[in-house]
Amino acid sequence: MAGVAFGESREIERGQLLLAGAFVLAVALIGLTVVLTSSSYTGTLASQESEVVRGSDAITVRDSVDTDLTRHFRYVFENYAPSNRRAQFKSVLFPIGNETNTHYASRGRMVNVTEPPSGGMFIEGTRFKQVEPFQKFTQPAGGGTGGTDYWYPAENVELRNATIVVNNILGGNQPEEAFNMSLDTPAAAGGNWSFVVYEDFSRPSGEELIIRSRSPTDTVRTCYRDEVSSSSSKKATIHLHNGTVNGDDCDALTPIDPGRHKYTLNFTRGEKVFGKYWMIVDKPPTEGSPTLNSKFAAGTRSTAEPVLFGARVRYRYHSGTVAYETNIDIAHREIS
Amino acid sequence: MIGDNKYTTEERGQLFALEGLLAALVVLAGIAFALQATVLTPSTSGATEAPADATMVNSILTTAAENGELQTALVNDWGGAGFSGSAGQWYTGSYPSNDFGTALEQGLGPTVTVNVLIYHRQPMDGHQQTRFIYNGAPGDGAVRSSTTLTLYDRDVSNPGTFYAEDVSPSTELYNVLEVEVVAWQG
């Protein structure tokens, strides 16, 4: 009897152990399911780091550094004397690189912005300007270079901030009689841009001024504006770098992209136009003729002054998968 | 024999207790799983809709940084103790009424929730975080994008009450902010 009771007790205990084992298995399965679900969620988050792996993060950081330094370069350019601009710009470079790096270092990335190791941080330039509002564009005072109908301010230069204020135009209503400015590439392969400015009084009122450009592929584009006359309110302010005339987009100028290319600048039939202009090129005045037209600085109504054309900094980005180093050219054509 | 039976009864009691414990664990685990499964059911947004567009988030942020909208939003909107247009210190449940806020709202759409956090170094206190838009912990499928924004002394008109301090008093640099946008469907 006792043996039977003992046997029944063992059977019950065994059943309970089996039941407990089943519970343990159930808990384990549910736990495993929860863990697997959690791992897929973690995978979603982990995929966000793919930008770092692919390297696009390095480009994003570079662009933000470029934007921030360009903004400061513009400020220094506009608010400090030429002799102080270099020091003012240089003073923020190290702290910006240091502060930027502290943000990314916590995520295992190294970002640094420094001076170029080989020097040459600043690019010297020249600002040409004719400041008399009703002088012809023929040539600067001081002598002729190629005659009165042909003049070039600079050869083999990068150009930015080219602004022409036309206050009056003489005679002629055809493109071949018009004032012409051309950007000629030194390379034999071409790539030249040119645009002419003239008035055609046979057109409807309000469309007399014509700006027509010719692309390197001989595509001709045209835009029309109001008449230009000696009246102070009737003028055309042409921003070549913005592609605008009197603040409005001009289809003929929009495609012209003078930055980041070397051009020889030509004025033709400058005797047809009255006004003033200014432009910045990436060569210092000391280069002299023929790279820069030395006659220009000698004139009483025109000047060629030294400016800071741009700056170059060294950018480095290193992560576990990406090593990226490059130069950033600051404010290449942004200053207006 | 009597002793053996008594000992067996105690063991059975322990087994009953163990069964009860395990049964409770099963119930609790089931409830936990059910709660989590609720988030992932087909009718909820997180599981069925596409996650927030990471490319769009990055594009909005970098464009706003380039054209100055980000600086305007993070600096000019600061009212001394919080962002001016917010109900508290930061925006919750709404976007700021400036170009950056509009870009986020129109670019990401009404189904996307956004956090915008600003990280900045304090000269004596390490890195700190300031919330610009905060709508709670990010949900499933959250995407993240960040950029840096350099502030110069001239950008901050009232440094005494600004949330970030001047980290370089001897130069024109004021601080470098890291701006992080986290977006998710929800």
Helices (H), chain A: 2-46, 50-54, 56-79, 82-105, 294-298
The most distant pair of C-alpha atoms in chain B lies apart, rounded to whole Å, by: 94
Residue A118 has pLDDT above 90, yes or no: no
User: Which of B:77-106 have CB within 8 Å of A?
Assistant: none
Contact predicate A213/A255, CB 8 Å: yes
pLDDT in tens, A150-191: 577 788 888 877 889 999 888 667 778 888 888 888 766 567
Q: With an 8 Å Cβ cutoff, are B150 and A68 in contact?
A: yes
| Distance (Å, whole) CA A284 – CA A306 | 6
Chain B nearest CA to A243, separation (Å): 19
Mean pLDDT of A72-91: 87
* Max mean pLDDT range (A54-63, A287-296, B1-10): A54-63
Q: With an 8 Å Cβ cutoff, are A31 and B29 in contact?
A: yes
Task: List CB contacts (< 8 A) between B51 and chain A.
Answer: 44
Find, among B183, B140, B57, B109, the residue nearest to A56 by Cα.
Answer: B57
pLDDT confidence bin for A234, thresholds 50/70/90: confident
B41: helix, coil or strand? coil
Instruction: Give the CATH fold of the A124-309 domain.
Output: Jelly Rolls (2.60.120)
Task: List CB contacts (< 8 A) between A48 and chain B.
Answer: 54, 142-144
Q: Domain locations in chain A?
A: 51-121+312-330, 124-309
User: Which of B:111-140 have CB within 8 Å of A?
Assistant: 119, 121, 127, 140
**Test the B interface: residue of A99, A101, A102, A113 with most B CBs within 10 Å:** A99
pLDDT of residue A2: 47
Question: Counting every residue, how long is chain B?
Answer: 186
| Distance (Å, whole) CA A174 – CA B66 | 42
Over pLDDT 90: what percentage of chain A?
15
CA–CA distances in Å: residue A172 to residues A85, A228, A238, B33: 45, 13, 20, 86
Q: Average per-residue pLDDT in chain A? A: 79
Task: List CB contacts (< 8 A) between A17 and chain B.
Answer: 15
| Distance (Å, whole) CA B61 – CA B145 | 8
The verdict on B5 touching A (C-beta cutoff 8 Å) is: yes
Higher pLDDT, A197 or A34: A197
CA–CA distances in Å: residue A17 to residues A31, A78, A120, A243, A254: 21, 86, 82, 86, 84
Concatenated DSSP letters for B111-162? TEEEEEEEEEEETTTEEEEEEEE--SS--TT-EEEEEEEEEEGGG-S-TTTS
Give the pairing of strands A263-268 and A179-184: antiparallel
Amino acid at B75: V
CA–CA distances in Å: residue A261 to residues B9, B89, B104: 96, 49, 37
Predicted-complex ipTM score: 0.71
Contact predicate A69/A96, CB 8 Å: yes
Find, among B87, B72, B100, B96, the residue nearest to B157 by Cα.
Answer: B72
Tokens of A224: 């029309």
pLDDT truncated to tens, each residue of chain B (186 aa)?
Answer: 444 555 567 777 777 888 888 888 888 877 877 776 655 555 454 444 556 788 889 899 989 998 889 999 999 999 888 998 888 889 999 999 999 999 999 999 888 999 999 999 988 878 899 999 999 988 878 888 889 999 999 999 989 999 999 999 999 999 999 999 999 987
pLDDT of residue A140: 58
pLDDT confidence bin for A99, thresholds 50/70/90: very high
Higher pLDDT, A156 or A248: A248
Contact predicate A285/A304, CB 8 Å: yes
Of B11, B16, B33, Cβ closest to residue A34? B33
